[in-house]
Amino acid sequence: MAWNDEAAPPSTALTVTAVNEQIRGLLSPMPAVRVQGEVSRISISAGHYYFDLKDAGSKLSVRLWKTVAARLRHLPREGQQMVVTGRIDVWVPGGAYALIAQNVEPAGQGAQWLALQQLKEKLNAQGLFDPARKKPLPYLPKTVALVTSPTGAAVADMLRILRQRCPVRVLVVPVKVQGEGAAASIAAGIEFIDQLGWADVIVVGRGGGSAEDLWAFNEEAAVRAVAACKTPIVSAVGHEIDTLLTDLAADSRAPTPTAAAEMVVPRHADLVAWLVQWQRRAAQSVQRQLGSDRRHLQQLKARLGSGDAVTAMRSVQLDDLQQRLARALTRQLDGERRKLERLRSRLQIAHPLRKLAGQRRQLEAQHQRLLTAGRAMLSQRRQWWQRRRDVLAVLSPTAALERGYAIVRRADGPAVAGIGGVAVGDQVQVLLRDGRFGAAVTLVEPRD
């Protein structure tokens, strides 16, 4: 259709629908576009999202159909900066055009994803994700360390599963698992417990959340700490659909924290059942071997013939061999039984109630020793004070009064220590054992 400034003849006038359809035809060849703006005037009807993208200069209507929204990780929110990918289309009946969304993501998400891919390629080239460097998990660890948030639901689930499955010691290393500084906190927690060497296996992770909540497990500091860990380590972050860089660097990856707890320790009942089954199989193997040896002996006897001398000699040899074989099999069976008993004893010794009883006895013994030492020290202190009290009693001025001596004091208070302290005519007080009296100094002379 050609457009010009002159009015079209009446015979060539177009309907409104025709005009809108032609506009739609002009816009249809446009390629898909990515548009960034602030979400506003959002409304939802029958699962479809209708909203505007705006900036300082204008706005653009956006339609997000229900089928597309169902597969998106991020949905539009009022006032949020988002990037919408889609095609421009015209709604012919209303004469309005809109961006038909094919994808919606927060602004900056594309750059973040690109940075993640670049980090992943760099670490992979350095061998951090190489399967050859991954360590096997211990079958029956004594100590399990959980590097996670101490207040999240994930740590409660893991502790519950570990208590149910097998009596092992659990160390919780509290770290920050999301937000600013989370990656450094995770790395420090892993390095701390790894350097101590107290754990046989480490589980690092957290429960589910959005991509932003889990992002700390994609940061280089956390990934390198997982890869450098000398202790076997399991990454258990989010849900099964979430795959983080720590999952690739860890020795093993669990789809959830609960699955990680089930992965690192076997069930106690399974261990007991395995021991019983192994004992039964060992006994059956010995019985089969004994039956085979008996049949072999019968065959040897048949081959020897009926000669009395030969038969008698062979019978003695066969009886001796049979007895030796029976003793050897009995010794082997006894040895296997002793091994089973040792394994069963180790499992019983490792039970927390037995350890708690032993520690309680140690505590009682320490308490008794402390009481005995305290009584001895108190007795020594009492004797020391009694000796000091006796010395003070001997040196006390009142003791001298009891022996018939007197103490002379000036009228103004101080005791007279020598003749230099008084003069003729001074008034003094004389203290005796049972009282005192006043006197006047009539004579002052030094002693030869």
37 close to 101: Cβ distance less than 8 angstroms: no
Specify the pLDDT at position 167: 82
Same domain, 64 and 176: no
Percent of the chain with pLDDT over 70: 90
Q: What is the reported pLDDT for 2?
A: 45
Let me know whether 246 and 154 are in one domain.
yes
Question: Tell me, what's the pLDDT at 227?
Answer: 95
Summarised one tens digit per residue, pLDDT across range 222-269 is 999 999 999 999 999 977 666 789 999 999 999 899 999 999 988 765
Question: What average pLDDT does the chain have?
Answer: 84
Q: Are residues 258 and 273 in the same domain?
A: no
Is 5 a domain residue?
A: no
Residues 275 and 339 in one domain: yes
In whole angstroms, give the CA distance from residue 135 to residue 230.
9
Q: Is the pLDDT of residue 9 over 50?
A: yes
Same domain, 116 and 262: yes
Inside any domain, residue 308: yes
pLDDT class of 140 with cuts at 50, 70, 90: confident
In the three-class reduction of DSSP (H, G, I as helix; E, B as strand; rest coil), residue 224 is classed as helix
**pLDDT exceeds cutoff 60 at 444:** yes
Q: Say whether 206 sits in a helix, a strand or coil.
A: strand
CATH code for the domain of 166:
3.40.50.261
What pairs with residue 54 in β-bridges? 38, 59
Say what the pTM is.
0.45
Q: How far apart, in whole angstroms, are the C-alpha atoms of residue 2 and residue 8? A: 10
% of residues, the chain, pLDDT over 90: 32
Using CA atoms, how far residue 411 sits from 232, 272, 419, 421, in Å, is 91, 98, 15, 12
| Residue 312 confidence (pLDDT) above 70 | no
Better-scored residue on pLDDT, 373 or 402:
373
Which pLDDT does position 420 carry in this prediction? 77
Among the listed ranges 34-38, 147-151, 295-299, 331-335, which one has the minimum average pLDDT value?
A: 295-299
Alpha-carbon distances, residue 333 vs 281, 384, 416 (angstroms): 11, 70, 102
Is 325 a domain residue?
yes
pLDDT of 201 strictly over 70: yes
The winner for highest mean pLDDT among 113-117, 144-148, 365-369, 370-374 is: 144-148
Spatial CB neighbours of 38, under 8 Å, sequence gap ≥ 6: 53, 54, 55, 79, 80, 81, 82
User: Are 183 and 311 contained in the same domain?
Assistant: no
Q: Check if the beta carbon of residue 39 is closer than 8 Å to that of residue 78.
A: yes
Task: Give residue 188's pLDDT.
Answer: 96
First to last CA, the chain: 152
Q: Is residue 410 part of a domain?
A: yes
Q: Average of pLDDT values for 40-69?
A: 92
Task: State whether 87 and 154 are in the same domain.
Answer: no
User: Does residue 210 sit in the same domain as residue 125?
Assistant: yes
Is residue 365, in this structure, part of any structural domain at all?
no
User: Is-contact 53 88, C-beta < 8 A?
Assistant: no
Domain housing 323: 269-349
pLDDT tens figures, 337-393: 888 888 887 777 776 777 777 788 888 898 899 889 989 999 999 999 988 888 887
- Over 60: is that where the pLDDT of 6 sits? no
Reported as a pLDDT band with limits 50, 70 and 90, residue 199 is very high
